Amino acid sequence: MQISSVLKPWTAGAGLCLLAACSSPSTPAATEAGSGSAADTTAAAPAAPANSPLQVVAQFREPQMVGVAVLPDGRIFADFPRWDNNPVTPVAEVLPDGSVKPYPDANWCAWNETTRQEPQKHWICPQSVHADNTGMLWVLDPASPGIKGTVPGGPKLVKIDPATNKVTQNISIPDNVAPRKSYLNDVRIDTQNRYAYITESGVGSLVVVDLSSGKARRLLAGHSSMMGDTTLNIKADGKELIDASGKRARFNADGIALSRDMQYLYWKPLTSYKLFRIKTEALRNPALTDAQLAQQIEDLGNVPASDGMEIDAANNVYLTAFEDHSIKRRTPAGKIETVVQDPRLEWPDTFAFSGDGKTLYVTTSAIHKTPTWNKGLGKQDQPYYIFKMALK
């Protein structure tokens, strides 16, 4: 998800100076997941309830983690966007012992004065990792370090074949689709029709990519269904999200889910209680104007404020409900159910399903405890987690 507001400088390797958001704790940990070593987990943390179904898969100190992907064979991947530090492994494979290794290799993970000349060959600020239903891994890179503005030529959607650990497709998203103030956020892959659907939270839009041609289109930019609401007093840990300048958080189109039959795309702005969907057939039709598309958007009513979303084979929409440390789901009938509530869910962020759909994975990113929302003082007091739980 996107977290931008108050910004501060940092220096990347080889002297490259960039600007980044205060998006993760200001006090460095003794060890970093981004360095490829197992995390130090000595910090105080909320205790697990005795009956919690959540199992710890991995835990890290710095840098901040947001996304997770799980392959059918059980391999796990995570991403660590360059928000206010320069992670060694911005995209990583999480190994069974909890350590990480750069993915697909160290060269892709390097970003410095030299590599910036090749923005399409390196992770700049990867925001999302996603496994499609054929077992391919996709990485979405908005290429906006610190959410300060896109690096020219950097926004991209990259496909990796985990069998060979090689990039097999690299789609550059042009600046008329991902302009400087954009932030490509999350992605779902329609393997049936060979399309990608992306939420873009900087301007507030959907991006649709024809995977056969590589052509990308920006749709519904600024439409009300894409925009966060600053009037709702949305909270985390009972505290409203207000930055150092006194502005309320406004996060636009963020969570995204594709129905298993690939007929419907669901999305919602983060600072909103509304859930929307549209037929993917409409999104793939270049003849339709934004006004015509808007007429096909379905307002599914109120749901909890949430960051990540996913959908199961029964069309239950899962939501990371950060206001009360929980995971919720919306049934096809519109009923909101609590799947699990656990104080360790400090801003539950992103979902992934196991290959058989019987296990749900979720990350925590503690965004509400970062300096942006705490007058410049990071208050993160626990590791960033990847949890899993069996679904009933």
- Indicate whether 250 belongs to any domain: yes
- Indicate whether 44 belongs to any domain: no
Looking at residue 53, the DSSP 8-state letter turns out to be -
Q: Dihedral, CA atoms, 308, 170, 72, 183, nearest 10 degrees?
A: -10
- Indicate whether 327 belongs to any domain: yes
Which residues span the domain enclosing 164?
A: 7-26+56-390
Check: CB of residue 330 under 8 Å from CB of residue 321.
Answer: no
Looking at residue 294, the DSSP 8-state letter turns out to be H
Nearest partner of 385 among 366, 358, 369, judged by Cα = 366
State how far the Cα of 203 lies from the Cα of 201, in Å rounded to an integer: 6
State how far the Cα of 229 lies from the Cα of 391, in Å rounded to an integer: 32
Looking at residue 32, the DSSP 8-state letter turns out to be B
Q: Which two tokens stand for residue 77?
A: 């991947």
What are the backbone dihedrals phi and psi of residue 90, each rounded to the nearest 5 degrees, phi first? Answer: -65, -30
- Indicate whether 50 belongs to any domain: no
Check: CB of residue 280 under 8 Å from CB of residue 298.
Answer: no
pLDDT at 43 (0 to 100): 46
- Indicate whether 65 belongs to any domain: yes
CATH code for position 179? 2.120.10.30
- Indicate whether 48 belongs to any domain: no
- Tell me which residue has tokens 């908005």: 142
Amino acid, single-letter form, for residue 381: D
State how far the Cα of 121 lies from the Cα of 144, in Å rounded to an integer: 15
What are the backbone dihedrals phi and psi of residue 335, each rounded to the nearest 5 degrees, phi first? Answer: -80, 135
State how far the Cα of 266 lies from the Cα of 13, in Å rounded to an integer: 39
pLDDT at 85 (0 to 100): 74
- Indicate whether 35 belongs to any domain: no
- Indicate whether 42 belongs to any domain: no
Give the C-alpha distances (Å, rounded to integers) separating 384 from 7, 305, 352: 22, 20, 16
pLDDT at 44 (0 to 100): 62
Nearest partner of 386 among 93, 107, 92, 58, judged by Cα = 58
Q: Strands 100-102, 128-131: parallel, antiparallel or unpaired by DSSP?
A: unpaired
Say how many domains are in the chain: 1
Upper half-sphere CA count for residue 91 (Cβ side, 13 Å) = 28
**Digits of tens for pLDDT over the chain (392 positions)?**
544 432 332 223 322 323 233 222 222 233 344 443 333 434 467 888 999 999 999 999 888 999 999 999 999 999 999 987 789 999 999 999 999 999 999 999 999 988 999 999 999 999 999 999 999 999 999 999 999 999 999 999 999 999 999 999 999 999 999 999 999 999 999 999 999 999 999 999 999 999 999 999 999 999 999 999 988 888 998 888 888 888 888 899 999 999 999 999 999 999 999 999 999 999 999 999 999 999 999 999 999 999 999 999 999 999 999 999 999 999 999 999 999 999 999 999 999 999 999 999 999 998 898 888 888 888 888 899 999 999 98
237: left (phi over 0), alpha (psi -120 to 50) or beta: left
pLDDT at 371 (0 to 100): 86
Q: Strands 309-311, 298-302: parallel, antiparallel or unpaired by DSSP?
A: unpaired
154: left (phi over 0), alpha (psi -120 to 50) or beta: alpha
